[in-house]
Chains A and B, each alone.
Chain A
């Protein structure tokens, strides 16, 4: 008896700790000390997260403005070179230096942003591997066995596809876009067509991935919902008829157990969504602030710099925008995947 009590106590104390360790460290600055049990009062959890999100807005905005002003200084210098050499001797070299200076000045910022977005995608991959099976198990136990397994299979497949496309294709494509934009600005817009083509490819991929994921999850949910109802009815009927004397009692008790698992599913699902928001917030806000900063710098550079320099700054902003959109789609995919389980009919 003592052994059983000790085992029960160990399970009780170690399980929440193990679950908490699944939360990536990068989510903690926004998530704070919120644990899965705290989501039973979602308003308080959201309030405290919202405050931390507002507090965390200042630093990325300041950094983005610094990056934009660094680029703007290079644009001013490049235009100074153009003006002082009056479009003659050394003008091409001065503009080339300006173009390279802009990309070099933006380089560390872009590297940091792309690094943080790649780390976000990697965190999402690791967290989805822990979260989706947990929520799926709770959903299956709460009376949706067919839809839970189908949703898990489809969500895992689609998540892997979205994350692989983001990691292996779109994020490197963004770097290539910056390189092509630089070359295009250095050679009087000769590679503008290539940049536009890459830009279109990135846009189609981002839109296509998000649409395909949402459609796949939606279709799976619709197809498997009817199977759940039939499976639960069949199980209850079997318990009532096949188990003598206590069949009806067990069948009624199973409803209470399923209800408890529904609470577990909703709690872990909502907590998972909060973790995804906390994970994605800082890198995406930082990238969005940089996108905005470069677009503002591009508008301001129009006053002093030539068309190619202005376009280059704008194109760097566009490339960062696609990187941010890709990371946002990855986070949204996990969000929709988990929300699909929470919304499962019981």
Chain B
């Protein structure tokens, strides 16, 4: 039901934004950003349930919490960076959009560093 509501809201927002873009581009952008934020908000609950389930499975599989947290952080950074980058591109700020992409990659790599350390330790202990 939440998905249907989200799709309906996105369609209405798209129609509104397209209609008023010629007369009031700023307001159209605000509508697009608001719709995107609403959709992200809607997606938070299922994503939270998914991550909870993955954490439960990881516990059952004796997977270290640090591993799954780092991977999740990286995934979340990827999603947010894409979201920010697309909004900036929609508002015509390509340079800022590229910067957000670079920032997203850098933050993702930074959050993957503990994993790299774990891998190197595992390899070093095997040699």
Contacts and interface: CB of A to CB of B under 8 A. Distances in A.
A110 B64 contact: no
A100 B116 contact: yes
Interface in B14-71: 54, 57-58, 60-64, 67-68, 70-71
Q: What interface size band does chain B fall in?
A: 35 or more
- Among B79, B107, B112, find the residue whose CB has the most chain A CB atoms closer than 10 A: B112
B60 to A, nearest CB: 7
Contact of B58 (A70, A107, A114, A178): A70
Nearest to A84: B79
B74 A94 contact: yes
Contacts of B57: 69, 73
A91 B81 CA distance: 10
Given A104-B115, A105-B63, A89 B101 contact: yes
Nearest to A179: B123
A122 interface: no
A66 B126 contact: no
14 contacts: A73-B61, A85-B78, A89-B82, A89-B85, A90-B81, A93-B108, A96-B112, A98-B71, A101-B68, A101-B71, A104-B122, A107-B123, A110-B126, A175-B127
B2 interface: no
B68 A90 contact: no
A74 B126 contact: no
A111 B82 contact: no
B71 A74 contact: yes
Contacts of A98: 71, 74
Interface of B: 54, 57-58, 60-64, 67-68, 70-75, 77-79, 81-82, 85, 100-101, 104-105, 107-109, 111-112, 115-116, 118-119, 121-123, 125-127
Per DSSP, chain B at the interface is: helix
Contacts of B107: 93
A76 interface: yes
Contacts of B64: 104-105, 108
A84 B107 CA distance: 17
A98 B115 CA distance: 9
B107 to A, nearest CB: 8
A70 B116 CA distance: 17
Given A70-B58, A103-B119, A93 B112 contact: yes
Nearest to B69: A101
Given A97-B115, A182-B119, A90 B105 contact: yes
A99 to B, nearest CB: 9
Contacts of B82: 84-86, 88-90
Given A73-B54, A78-B71, A107-B119, A66 B60 contact: yes
B78 A107 contact: no
Contact of B81 (A89, A108, A114, A171): A89
Contacts of A86: 82
Contacts of B126: 110-111, 114, 171-172, 174-175, 178
A145 interface: no
